C-alpha cells in the first residue's frame, strides 16, 4: 500500500494522527528531505528503509514505490505541508495509475495556514476579504496566463504566496500595482512552526528591505492583504442579533 502523507509545516506534532500511524507502520519511507523535518523519521520502525527524494528523480521514486508494492510492503511518501499544494504528487499518481498501483492521499497542515496562525490573524474577515488566493510568482516554472501576481492582487483578496521570497522585489512591484498602494500590509513567515521561525511584519513599501536585512531567501510564506491589519465587521455567526440553524437571535428568544 502506498500512502502520500502530508507531514505538516515543520513541527512534528503537526502531522495528522493518521499520518503518524502510517509512519510508525511503514516498511519504506520516501521523504522530501529539503523541507520535511527529519524528526518525523524517529517515529519509524528500526528496520524501516528510508529514502530522501531530494536526490532522486521521479523515475527513481516510482521504482522504489513499485518494488515495495511488489513485495507487499507499506510505503509512505512523505511530503511537506499538505501534499496537494505544490507537492508534485499528480505526476507520481499518474504513473502509479498507469501501472495499476493503488494509493491513498492523507492531507496535512499546509504552511499557509501555519503562517497565518503564527501571526495570529484570520484570512477571511467580513467586509475585508472572503477569499484566499494561494499562488506563487513565476520563476523557472511559469504560471499560466491570467495568474500573474499583478492580476491576482487586483481582487484585493487575502493572499498566501509560496515559493517566491527569493524574488521579493518583483513580488512587491507586481502586488503594489495590483493592490494600487504600497500601504498594503504584508507578513513574511520564515519556517513557520520550526524552532527558528521568524516573523517579519511590514507593508509592500518596506518588507523587501526587512527580508534582505534578515537574509531570508527560502522557506517563507508571504501573506498579503488588509486582513493583517485594519478594520473589519464582526462575524454574523456570533452576532446576538443574527439567528442561524443552531442558534436563535436575541429578538427571537424574547
Q: Which of 124, 2, 146, 114 is nearest to 63 (CA)?
A: 2
Does position 192 interact with ligand SAH (CB under 6 A)? The reply is: yes
From 82, 89, 128, 179, residue interacting with ligand SAH (rule: CB under 6 A): 82
Does position 189 interact with ligand SAH (CB under 6 A)? The reply is: yes
Q: Which residues contact 58 (CB under 8 A, 6 or more apart)?
A: 91, 92, 95
The distance of closest approach from Cβ of residue 143 to ligand SAH in the complex, given in angstroms and rounded to an integer, is 14
Question: 157: which 3 cell numbers?
Answer: 483578496
In the block, cell 524574488 appears at 167
Nearest to ligand SAH of 64, 160 (CB atom): 160
Cα gap 22→74, rounded to integer Å: 8
Nearest to ligand SAH of 221, 226 (CB atom): 221
Phi–psi pair at 231, nearest 5 degrees: -95, 160
Q: Which residues contact 246 (CB under 8 A, 6 or more apart)?
A: none
Does position 80 interact with ligand SAH (CB under 6 A)? The reply is: yes
Q: Which residues contact 28 (CB under 8 A, 6 or more apart)?
A: 48, 49, 50, 51, 64, 65, 68, 73, 74, 75, 76
Does position 15 interact with ligand SAH (CB under 6 A)? The reply is: no
Nearest to ligand SAH of 69, 216 (CB atom): 216
Nearest to ligand SAH of 69, 76 (CB atom): 76
Nearest to ligand SAH of 78, 114 (CB atom): 114
Does position 111 interact with ligand SAH (CB under 6 A)? The reply is: yes
Does position 19 interact with ligand SAH (CB under 6 A)? The reply is: no
CA 187, chain centre distance (Å): 15
**Binding mask 135-174 vs ligand SAH (x if CB under 6 A, - otherwise)?**
---------------------------xx-----------
Does position 128 interact with ligand SAH (CB under 6 A)? The reply is: no
| DSSP-derived 3-state class of residue 8 | strand
Q: Which residues bind ligand SAH (CB under 6 A)?
A: 9-10, 35, 79-82, 85-87, 110-111, 114-115, 162-163, 189, 191-194, 219-221
Amino acid at each position: 500500500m502506498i500512502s502520500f502523507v502530508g507531514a505538516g509545516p515543520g513541527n512534528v506534532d503537526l502531522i495528522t494522527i493518521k499520518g503518524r500511524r502510517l509512519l510508525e507502520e511503514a516498511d519504506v519511507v520516501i521523504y522530501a528531505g529539503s523541507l520535511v523535518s527529519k524528526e518525523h523519521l524517529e517515529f519509524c520502525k528500526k528496520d524501516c528503509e528510508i529514502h530522501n527524494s531530494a536526490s532522486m528523480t521521479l523515475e527513481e521514486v516510482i521504482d522504489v514505490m513499485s518494488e515495495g508494492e511488489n513485495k507487499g510492503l507499506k510505503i509512505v511518501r512523505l511530503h511537506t505541508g499538505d501534499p496537494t499544494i505544490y507537492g508534485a504528487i499528480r505526476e507520481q499518481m499518474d504513473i502509479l495509475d498507469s501501472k495499476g498501483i493503488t494509493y491513498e492521499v492523507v492531507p496535512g497542515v499546509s504552511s499557509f495556514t501555519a503562517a497565518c496562525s503564527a501571526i495570529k490573524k484570520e484570512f477571511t474577515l467580513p467586509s475585508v476579504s472572503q477569499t484566499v488566493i494561494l499562488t506563487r510568482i513565476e520563476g523557472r516554472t511559469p504560471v499560466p496566463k491570467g495568474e500573474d501576481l499583478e492580476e491576482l492582487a487586483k481582487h484585493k483578496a487575502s493572499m498566501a504566496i509560496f515559493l517566491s521570497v527569493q524574488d521579493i522585489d518583483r513580488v512587491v512591484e507586481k502586488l503594489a500595482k495590483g493592490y494600487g498602494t504600497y500601504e498594503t500590509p504584508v507578513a513574511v513567515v520564515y519556517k513557520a512552526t520550526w524552532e527558528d521561525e521568524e516573523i517579519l511584519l511590514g507593508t509592500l513599501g518596506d518588507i523587501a528591505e526587512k527580508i534582505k536585512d534578515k537574509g531570508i531567501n527560502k522557506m517563507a510564506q508571504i501573506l498579503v492583504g488588509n486582513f493583517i491589519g485594519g478594520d473589519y465587521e464582526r462575524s454574523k455567526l456570533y452576532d446576538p442579533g443574527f439567528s442561524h440553524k443552531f442558534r436563535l437571535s436575541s429578538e427571537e428568544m424574547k
